[in-house]
Structure 1
Amino acid sequence: MARQRDQAGGRLTVQPEPGRPGVDDPAERRVEEPPKDSGYGRSPYERDRARVLHSAAFRRLATKTQVHTAGTDDFLRTRLTHSLEVAQIAREMGARLGCDPDVVDTAGLAHDLGHPPFGHNGEAALDQLAAACGGFEGNAQTLRVLTRLEAKVLGPDGSSAGLNLTRASLDAVAKYPWPRRPGQRKFGVYADDRPVFDWLRTGGPGGDRCCLEAQVMDWADDVAYSVHDVEDGIHGGYVTLHPLLTDPDERAALCADVAATYSGESPADLGEVLVDLLADPVLAPLAGYDGSHRAQAALKATTSVLTGRFVSAAVAATQERFGVGPHRRYAADLVVPRSIRARCALLKGIALRYVLRRPGARGRYERQREVIADLVAVLADRAPDALDPVFAPLWRAAPDDAARLRVVVDQVASLTDPAAVAWHTRLVGGTPVGDLPKLG
């Protein structure tokens, strides 16, 4: 049974669900499952959302680093809270455009499931260590988690089909729908996951184009990252607008960072946008933040207004170009005005310059990379005995050294920040991680 809202009154009604989806149907699952009758009549996409929400990989995000090291402050965001915020923003934005809200919600919840311990720093370390098996990328790892590593559904041959999500939901997670290419840092599929990737892209236009739901999720990710990480930085005392308001050289340095990392705009063009952004009255509460209840309320109001502006601008521009919709899959592309993208990129640059690159951060990042490198080395040496019961059989079944290395990398990537520290202490003896959070 499928649920549907009455267009006049918004009432929820139950309609018969069609037969088994066709080979290019967005609701098709790669492994056929017997019909489920829970008495609730959930749609296939509602089931997808529930599968991600109840997965072990999703729970692990609670102690995986977002920007600040997970566990260092009760206020700061983790990958889990970030994913919940991305899902909420994506759901509302997608609903306004006419996307299936559960598809974009699922994409938001799932988009970071493949991220390893220690955030992008751990990702970069694993990419170097996994060179012999095709490298490592968080988005490609997310696809692997959803379609292979997470335990939910088995295929006819007894192998894992992961969560066995629908084609539409998997495609909505694929914001980099291509394999690794020379000169490109981001990609969305490893070579040995190509069969399931080709399956999920069936029915699309081909090429590198993302479906609308993936574009909505990607913009929601950018919005949440830019706005909320600046909020965390201000609350933590790492970010202040004073240098940007008073020092032209500091503004120029920020714009250079953003042009090199987050934006295709020139530093000069970004400088003009930055002047407008800093003059915006909505940022006034960010100056002189003292952590009081009044200051926190004002800070939250600022993040709410910025989020609303970034979302509304994209919705309005998309509807202006493609009509009011509803729009799904490949019927439209998300349109984000250049000035809005630039503002978002500048906020991301503020978090980069004043949080990620703050004094003392480099030494901590080096210690994190040591933990990752030590774990890959010791697990490769002691596998399969040192691996979890999920990964040991995969290592034994691997056909060659590259495939065995991939299993070791999968194991390390699955660990939370504190679990990586604990495994390092247990397997290596001692820990070089200094101020990283400990189990307790």
Structure 2
Amino acid sequence: MAVQDACARAPFAADAKAGRGRLHPEPPSPGRSDFRRDCDRVIHSTAFRRLAHKTQVFVYHEGDHFRTRLTHTLEVTQVARSIARQLGLDEDLAEACALAHDLGHPPFGHAGERALDRCLAAHGGFDHNAQTLAVVTRLERRYPAFDGLNLTWETLEGLVKHNGPLVGPRVRRKSGEALCDAASALPLVIRDYDAVHNLDLATFPSLEAQVGAIADDIAYDAHDMDDGLRAGLFTLDALSEVEFVAHIVGDICAEHKKIDPARLVHELVRRIITVMIVDVVAETRARVAVVAPTSVADVRAAESPLVAFSAPMAAADKAIKAFLWTHMYRHPRVMQVMTAAEGVLADLFGRYVAEPDLLPAEWRHDLPDGPGARARRIADFIAGMTDRYAIAEHRRLFDSTPHLR
């Protein structure tokens, strides 16, 4: 029996025609829905282009075949559309959330985020999800009538709630953690924007946004394995310590007894993505059947996320991430480069704070006087850098720059 690839539009899918609109009202596009228009605005943004030269795990010049933030984003988008299509959701909204989800990442991946978080420790810290909101609402300056991209409420909601509700009883908490209203602890960017454009921070986002978030996990799991194997950080035998992976490798080898190693890895990645997508679709349908939402409002009011892995797949996802944490993200070779990269951003931040005249003219213009506001303005500039621009700036301002390889 052929696999059904699409469903009729679900009653709980987001509807662009019935959406909450944009902060700055605009006339509708004659040929595109509001969510499709969001996708196009993200794709044409400066921040999106910069993702081509921002680290996923490996710095840009380590090899042409490793993922960058851009290729990762495109892979997340493909997975999100595939899941959304099978669930009868709005594919354009799922795509918009996926395309924009990493726009706030600084250079050098999570190492850059750690560095900026330390630099801003006295001023609220740095969070890449909050920075994504800053990019799409303030830092992109393309349109004559407003700053940012003026995305729809639904897309902004999906970006801010990438990991679920931010305040109230539905927030995911660690075991034993007390329930509290954490609104005052949220990043200032989110608090400030929510004050003028209420994003309902205590509710879950649409199913399309939830799909975008889990597609991020699927892409990370599959493609970081691929990059780690390609880089020689671990072997396929070591990776097969993860039972889920071992089963798939065994199935491939049983079906293709003389398969060469490169094709085996590609087939492994392909099957992991497929199996995870099938699992998410089945688990989501089961959860929807229990909750029986009849509108996107019912989705937001649910007590738990409706898009999720099944319990066995969640365990497999956890095992994969644990393996990658130990064998890839904490690998001495990666850590050496990322520690040096953190130093590059810390150096840049310190020099710009001490000598703001070194900033480009457009960033010096109307530079705030207060130390907190000035520090955040400098962090905005650094966060927007590509890896290679950060390295070039460091070479311009310092006598010695680490060799990040």
One-letter identity of the residue aligned with 2:80: A
2:210 is equivalent to residue 211 of structure 1? no
Cα gap change, 1:430 to 1:330, in 2 (>3 Å): farther
In structure 1, the partner of 2:94 is 104
In structure 1, the partner of 2:349 is 376
2:286 is equivalent to residue 299 of structure 1? no
Name the SS for the 1:306 alignment partner: helix
Query: Matches of 1:399 and 1:29 in 2, distance apart?
Result: 31
The answer to whether the 8 A contact 1:86-1:224 is kept is yes
Question: Match for 1:165 among 141, 151, 163?
Answer: 151
Query: Matches of 1:335 and 1:142 in 2, distance apart?
Result: 23
TM-score scaled by structure 2? 0.82
The answer to whether the 8 A contact 1:29-1:166 is kept is yes
Question: Match for 1:422 among 388, 392, 403?
Answer: 392
Cα gap change, 1:415 to 1:169, in 2 (>3 Å): same
Q: Percent identity?
A: 35
Cα gap change, 1:198 to 1:293, in 2 (>3 Å): farther
One-letter identity of the residue aligned with 2:277: V
1:199 Cα deviation from its structure 2 partner: 5.2
The answer to whether the 8 A contact 1:154-1:162 is kept is no
Query: Matches of 1:348 and 1:235 in 2, distance apart?
Result: 18
Q: Structure 1: which 5+ residue stretches go unaligned?
A: 1-6, 11-16, 19-24, 246-250, 252-273, 287-291
In structure 2, the partner of 1:178 is 166
Query: Matches of 2:259 and 2:20 in 1, distance apart?
Result: 47
Query: Matches of 1:138 and 1:121 in 2, distance apart?
Result: 12
In structure 1, the partner of 2:43 is 53
For residues 332-388 of structure 1, the C-alpha deviation after alignment (integer angstroms, 9 at most, x for no partner) is 6213212111212222223222222223333322211110111001111221x3223
Cα gap change, 1:373 to 1:326, in 2 (>3 Å): same
Query: Matches of 2:297 and 2:82 in 1, distance apart?
Result: 16
Query: Matches of 2:344 and 2:313 in 1, distance apart?
Result: 39
Query: Matches of 1:293 and 1:201 in 2, distance apart?
Result: 54
In structure 2, the partner of 1:342 is 315
One-letter identity of the residue aligned with 2:336: G
Query: Matches of 2:259 and 2:136 in 1, distance apart?
Result: 41
2:360 is equivalent to residue 388 of structure 1? yes
Query: Matches of 2:43 and 2:285 in 1, distance apart?
Result: 31
2:298 is equivalent to residue 315 of structure 1? no
Superposed, 1:108-127 pairs within 5 Å as 108-127=98-117
Instruction: Report which of the two has the higher share of helix.
Output: 2
Name the SS for the 2:126 alignment partner: coil
Name the SS for the 1:68 alignment partner: coil
For residues 45-96 of structure 1, the C-alpha deviation after alignment (integer angstroms, 9 at most, x for no partner) is 1110000011110111111111122221111101000000001111111222
In structure 2, the partner of 1:255 is none
One-letter identity of the residue aligned with 2:339: E
One-letter identity of the residue aligned with 1:298: L
Cα gap change, 1:154 to 1:191, in 2 (>3 Å): farther
Count of residue pairs the alignment pairs up: 369
Cα gap change, 1:280 to 1:389, in 2 (>3 Å): same
Query: Matches of 2:159 and 2:151 in 1, distance apart?
Result: 11
The answer to whether the 8 A contact 2:341-2:404 is kept is no
2:184 is equivalent to residue 194 of structure 1? no
Question: Match for 1:81 among 71, 77, 80?
Answer: 71
2:233 is equivalent to residue 238 of structure 1? yes
Query: Matches of 2:278 and 2:293 in 1, distance apart?
Result: 15
Query: Matches of 1:351 and 1:150 in 2, distance apart?
Result: 34
1:280 Cα deviation from its structure 2 partner: 0.4
Query: Matches of 2:366 and 2:81 in 1, distance apart?
Result: 36
The answer to whether the 8 A contact 1:84-1:109 is kept is yes
Instruction: Give the root-mean-square deviation of aligned CA atoms.
Output: 3.1
1:326 Cα deviation from its structure 2 partner: 8.4
The answer to whether the 8 A contact 2:53-2:388 is kept is yes
1:389 Cα deviation from its structure 2 partner: 4.0
TM-score scaled by structure 1? 0.76
In structure 1, the partner of 2:81 is 91
Query: Matches of 1:230 and 1:381 in 2, distance apart?
Result: 42
One-letter identity of the residue aligned with 1:403: A
Cα gap change, 1:408 to 1:340, in 2 (>3 Å): same
Cα gap change, 1:283 to 1:120, in 2 (>3 Å): farther
Query: Matches of 2:310 and 2:273 in 1, distance apart?
Result: 15
2:23 is equivalent to residue 30 of structure 1? yes
The answer to whether the 8 A contact 1:128-1:135 is kept is yes
1:297 Cα deviation from its structure 2 partner: 2.9
The answer to whether the 8 A contact 1:171-1:201 is kept is no
In structure 1, the partner of 2:4 is none
Query: Matches of 2:58 and 2:338 in 1, distance apart?
Result: 11
In structure 1, the partner of 2:13 is none
Cα gap change, 1:100 to 1:237, in 2 (>3 Å): same
Q: Structure 2: which 5+ residue stretches go unaligned?
A: 1-6, 10-15, 175-181
1:329 Cα deviation from its structure 2 partner: 6.2
1:311 Cα deviation from its structure 2 partner: 1.4
Query: Matches of 1:414 and 1:197 in 2, distance apart?
Result: 23
1:330 Cα deviation from its structure 2 partner: 4.8
Query: Matches of 2:252 and 2:347 in 1, distance apart?
Result: 44
Which structure has the higher relative contact order (CA within 8 Å, separation 6+)? 2
Question: Match for 2:119 among 126, 129, 135?
Answer: 129
